[in-house]
Amino acid sequence: MQAFYADHFVLPLPEGHRFPMQKYRLLRGRLVAELPEVVLCEAPRATDGELALAHDPAYVEAVQTGSLSPAAQREIGFPWSEAMAERSRRSVGATVAASRLAFSDGIAANLAGGTHHAGVAQGGGFCVFNDLAVAARLMQAEWFRRARRALQVLVIDLDVHQGNGTAAIFRDDPTVFTLSLHGEKNFPFRKVPGDLDVDLPDGCSDDAYLQALELALQEVEHRFDPGFVLYLAGADPHEGDRLGRLKLSHDGLEARDRRVFSWAFERGLPLAFAMGGGYGHDLQTTVQAQFNTYRVAAQFHARWQNRRR
């Protein structure tokens, strides 16, 4: 299975900044050491034209040239730098590359991304550009060129925070269905309604979560007919997360991932996934959760290859 990374484009953060940037490098290290079936590739950069599929060109330009206002930078949560702009483009490029590959390989990944708080003309909550939205629109355009019919895209957002940016971008777009399961009391405090939002109470544990996921997938089944799935496999619903407020165990998160991958696999739907949030009290917990997602994904990749033979 191929996965795209951009963690070597280092985004400089001030001392004591609360974003755990090193988790990406740690995850890549563990994949190299312990999961050789995951082939790691450098992420390409998303072009202006690709970004403009989901973002206002003036916003793309402001990120590129460093003319974001101090308030816009505060909203994002990262100070602007050339490296920040480059890293953000690469992270979108990684989800785009993984999405393209999913159509031939069944499943592929971005080692970062899942920046679902970014909207059309602004970032937020550590998100600059919305990789899921750009990839969805670009896959639709490329699919239409080849197949002469529309591609419907399902976004399954299981990060613990609601995907407000993705919901806003696709608000009036019936060709993209946004599903989000998230903590009701968590950021963003003003949520933007998506196509299906499931609010979970503080302390929600494995069984209740998996049941909610099952019901949500059943409802999607009735309401939408996707040709492609984008999955945001956030590690922040884990019980050891600083920001998550939910209580999923590693086993629960693994069952969640397995359910999503098998749901797509059973329906023959290509799937690309991104990592999203993870802010473990102990960062190794976050990295372990993400590593587990890759372990399960690699099993499904093998099943896709067997199916093709």
Q: List residues binding Zn ion (CB under 5 A).
A: 159, 161, 234, 236, 277
User: If you ran DSSP here, which 8-state letter would residue 193 be given?
Assistant: P
User: If you ran DSSP here, which 8-state letter would residue 44 be given?
Assistant: P
Shortest distance (Å) from residue 159 CB to Zn ion: 4
Token pair for 98 = 């993984």
Token pair for 26 = 């740690």
Give whichever of 138 and 198 is closer to Zn ion, judged by the CB atom: 198
Give whichever of 93 and 165 is closer to Zn ion, judged by the CB atom: 165
Give whichever of 106 and 237 is closer to Zn ion, judged by the CB atom: 237
Shortest distance (Å) from residue 38 CB to Zn ion: 23
Taking the C-alpha atoms of residue 138 and residue 53, their distance in angstroms, rounded to an integer, is: 7
Shortest distance (Å) from residue 196 CB to Zn ion: 18
Residues 192 and 171: beta-carbon distance below 8 Å = yes
**CB-nearest residue to Zn ion:** 277
Q: Scanning the structure block, which residue is given the tokens 């974001």? A: 68
Instruction: Name, in order, each residue with C-beta under 8 angstroms of 308's C-beta and a sequence gap of 6 or more.
Output: none
Token pair for 161 = 């925070």
Token pair for 186 = 């968590």
Shortest distance (Å) from residue 290 CB to Zn ion: 13
Buried b (16+ CB within 10 A) or exposed e, 179-193: bbbbbeebbbeebbe
Taking the C-alpha atoms of residue 258 and residue 236, their distance in angstroms, rounded to an integer, is: 17
Shortest distance (Å) from residue 37 CB to Zn ion: 27
Token pair for 46 = 């998303």
Q: Scanning the structure block, which residue is given the tokens 């693994």? A: 254
Give whichever of 165 and 270 is closer to Zn ion, judged by the CB atom: 165
Give whichever of 99 and 162 is closer to Zn ion, judged by the CB atom: 162
**CB atoms near residue 300 (< 10 Å):** 20
Shortest distance (Å) from residue 181 CB to Zn ion: 12
Give whichever of 105 and 236 is closer to Zn ion, judged by the CB atom: 236
